[in-house]
């Protein structure tokens, strides 16, 4: 009768009954985010991404090969993949909690026989024999999901799985971006090193000319010293740039899980900048960027955590059954009637626990607020990255155009002053200044070309990354 009464009490409280329903309302997940303008980003653009396979658009076979190798071997990507598998395992655990659990075992008992084999005349060494009996047992437990708490745990785990999947896509996109950026940095460093090597030869040629002028009595010793100083400065810059080339090559090798042996050769020149057709609509970015998808799913999971904490305040019903086999009754373990006859139910309601359950609700609500702010910040940062990258597209183009003009003028001025210096019509300071201006203009132009490529990479990443940020690829 007790079992039937407890079970009936639990059924009265089940969802769907009109008698009593004290289930908490689902926690709304709200995050206030500044709305983007309704028009396209900075100019009219098609609704799709400018490119999905934007690495191939650079038309650099070596870069494509490096990216492919990194996506297969990079440690960050593998680590994100392991976290995804762990999230899937947690989902399996949550689903298993909704099912009954059955355990089996054996109970050992020692029994004294009380038999003296030698009677009263024996010495008792073999008396009082005993035997050991093993009794198998089976127990089962199940908690009916009265208020949907266990279902919420499953849904929360599913969101964690999809968030981990987005994190994996984000790791692939981040590694792709880093490989492309490092590759362009390496090419830039090689071009700057070649510029330094040419500068050293230029300074040595000016030194030889100055020494001849000094020997002829046309120039003073200070001119020779200034020329020697310029040679030494150029050699120092060359050594520094050699170090940077080696460091960038090693860093790129690490991304591909190679030993940092500085065995990677840079390309002879930077690739041309691909054409850009537009960035699409701001709202589309929210459905493409893996970091935003992961943040959104964690926000929803946090809302479910609040519901789970609230439902922990409600009564819980558990059903259990246990059977132990005695002698000659092993078949009882597999007898359904025996199992039902031993069924017991337990209905519990938290009464006093020092306020820990209510404190847990407040804690989960605080976590939910934090996740909402994290999501809002992520969206705003995403808008910022796209706007900055789009703006930089135009500004960097203007900068490169101006630097080309500056370099052409500096080259012509240097050539003229070198002739005038050889004729004795210009000073060493004028020549060194012209050479410095030409070197600075050429160096800035190389860096500007690289920066336009790097900004294009940042723009593709900010827009979602195309196939390299697709969460359905790679797992």
Read off the pLDDT of residues 152-188 as tens digits, 9 standing for 90 and up: 999 999 999 999 999 999 999 999 999 999 999 999 9
DSSP per-residue codes, 112-129 = E----TTGGGS-STT-S-
> What is the distance between the alpha carbons of residues 224 and 423, in angstroms, rounded to a whole number?
17
pLDDT mean over 131-158: 83
Per-residue pLDDT at 205 exceeds 50: yes
199, 439 in Cβ contact below 8 A? yes
Read off the pLDDT of residues 2-35 as tens digits, 9 standing for 90 and up: 333 333 333 333 333 333 345 566 777 655 666 6
> What is the distance between the alpha carbons of residues 106 and 111, in angstroms, rounded to a whole number?
16
Per-residue model confidence (pLDDT) at position 9: 32
What structural domains does the chain harbor?
Answer: 2-102+147-323+370-469 (1.20.1600.10)
Per-residue model confidence (pLDDT) at position 119: 52
Lowest mean pLDDT among 123-132, 211-220, 365-374, 380-389: 123-132
Per-residue model confidence (pLDDT) at position 228: 93
pLDDT mean over 408-426: 90
368, 310 in Cβ contact below 8 A? no
Per-residue model confidence (pLDDT) at position 384: 92
The candidate with the shortest Cα–Cα distance to 403, out of 368, 375, 444, is: 444
Per-residue model confidence (pLDDT) at position 14: 37
Per-residue pLDDT at 273 exceeds 80: yes
The set of long-range contacts for 8-12, using a CB threshold of 8 Å and a minimum separation of 24, is: 9/347, 10/144, 10/146, 10/315, 10/317, 10/345, 10/347
Per-residue model confidence (pLDDT) at position 18: 37
E strands within 79-208? Answer: 101-112, 130-142
pLDDT mean over 199-223: 89
Per-residue pLDDT at 378 exceeds 80: yes
Q: At a CB cut-off of 8 Å and minimum separation 6, what does 89 contact?
A: none
Per-residue model confidence (pLDDT) at position 111: 65
Per-residue model confidence (pLDDT) at position 44: 41
- Give the three-class secondary structure for 412: helix
Per-residue model confidence (pLDDT) at position 29: 65
Dihedral sign (CA 60, 455, 251, 67) = negative
Read off the pLDDT of residues 429-472 as tens digits, 9 standing for 90 and up: 888 899 999 999 999 999 999 999 999 999 999 999 999 999 88
CB environment 411-449: b (16+ within 10 A), e (fewer): eebbeebbeebeeeebebeebbebbebbbebbbbbbbbb
450, 399 in Cβ contact below 8 A? no
Q: What is the 3-state secondary structure (H, E, C) of 291-316?
A: HHHHHHHHHHHHHHHHHHHHHCCCCE
Mean pLDDT of the residues in the chain: 83
Per-residue pLDDT at 38 exceeds 80: no
Per-residue model confidence (pLDDT) at position 88: 95
pLDDT mean over 200-228: 89
- Work out the percent of the chain whose per-residue pLDDT is above 90: 55
Per-residue model confidence (pLDDT) at position 8: 31
Q: Which is higher by pLDDT, 128 or 423? A: 423
């Amino acid at each position: 009768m007790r079992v039937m009464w407890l079970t009936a009490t639990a059924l009265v409280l089940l969802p769907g009954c009109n008698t009593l329903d004290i289930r908490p309302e689902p926690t709304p997940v709200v995050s206030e985010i500044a709305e983007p303008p309704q028009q396209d980003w900075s100019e009219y653009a098609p609704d799709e991404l400018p490119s999905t396979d934007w690495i191939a658009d650079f038309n650099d076979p070596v870069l494509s090969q490096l990216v492919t190798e990194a996506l297969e071997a990079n440690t960050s990507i593998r680590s994100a993949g392991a976290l995804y598998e762990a999230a899937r395992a947690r989902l399996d655990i949550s689903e298993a909690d909704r099912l009954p659990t059955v355990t089996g075992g054996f109970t050992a008992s020692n029994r004294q026989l009380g038999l003296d084999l030698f009677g009263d005349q024996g010495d008792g060494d073999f008396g009082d024999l005993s035997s050991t009996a093993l009794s198998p047992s089976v127990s089962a437990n199940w908690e009916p999901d009265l208020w949907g708490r266990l279902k919420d745990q499953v849904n929360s785990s599913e969101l964690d799985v999809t968030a981990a999947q987005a994190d994996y896509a984000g790791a692939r996109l981040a590694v792709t971006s880093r490989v492309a950026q490092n590759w362009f940095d390496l090419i830039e460093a090689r071009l700057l090193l070649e510029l330094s090597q040419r500068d050293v030869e230029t300074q040595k040629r000016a030194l030889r000319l100055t020494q001849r002028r000094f020997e002829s009595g046309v120039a003073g010793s200070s001119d020779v010293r200034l020329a020697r100083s310029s040679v030494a400065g150029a050699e120092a810059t060359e050594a520094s740039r050699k170090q940077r080339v080696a460091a960038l090559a090693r860093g790129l090798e690490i991304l591909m899980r190679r030993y940092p042996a500085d065995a990677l050769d840079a390309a002879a020149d930077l690739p041309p900048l691909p054409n850009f057709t537009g960035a699409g609509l701001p709202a589309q970015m929210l459905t493409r960027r893996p970091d935003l998808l992961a943040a959104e799913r964690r926000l929803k999971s946090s809302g479910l955590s609040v519901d789970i904490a609230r439902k922990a305040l409600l009564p819980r019903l558990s059903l259990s059954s246990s059977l132990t086999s005695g002698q000659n009754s092993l078949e009882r373990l597999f007898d359904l009637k025996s199992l039902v006859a031993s069924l017991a139910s337990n209905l519990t309601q938290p009464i006093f626990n020092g306020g820990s359950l209510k404190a847990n609700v407040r804690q989960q609500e605080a976590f939910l607020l934090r996740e909402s702010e994290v999501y809002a910040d992520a969206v705003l940062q995403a808008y910022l990255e796209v706007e900055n990258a789009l703006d930089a597209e135009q500004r960097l183009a203007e900068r490169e155009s101006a630097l080309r003009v500056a370099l052409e003028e500096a080259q012509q001025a240097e050539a003229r002053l070198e002739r005038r210096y050889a004729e004795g019509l210009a000073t060493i300071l004028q020549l060194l200044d012209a050479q410095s201006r030409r070197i600075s203009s050429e160096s800035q132009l190389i860096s500007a070309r690289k920066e336009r490529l790097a900004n294009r990479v940042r723009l593709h990443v900010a827009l979602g990354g195309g196939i390299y940020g697709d969460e359905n690829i790679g797992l």
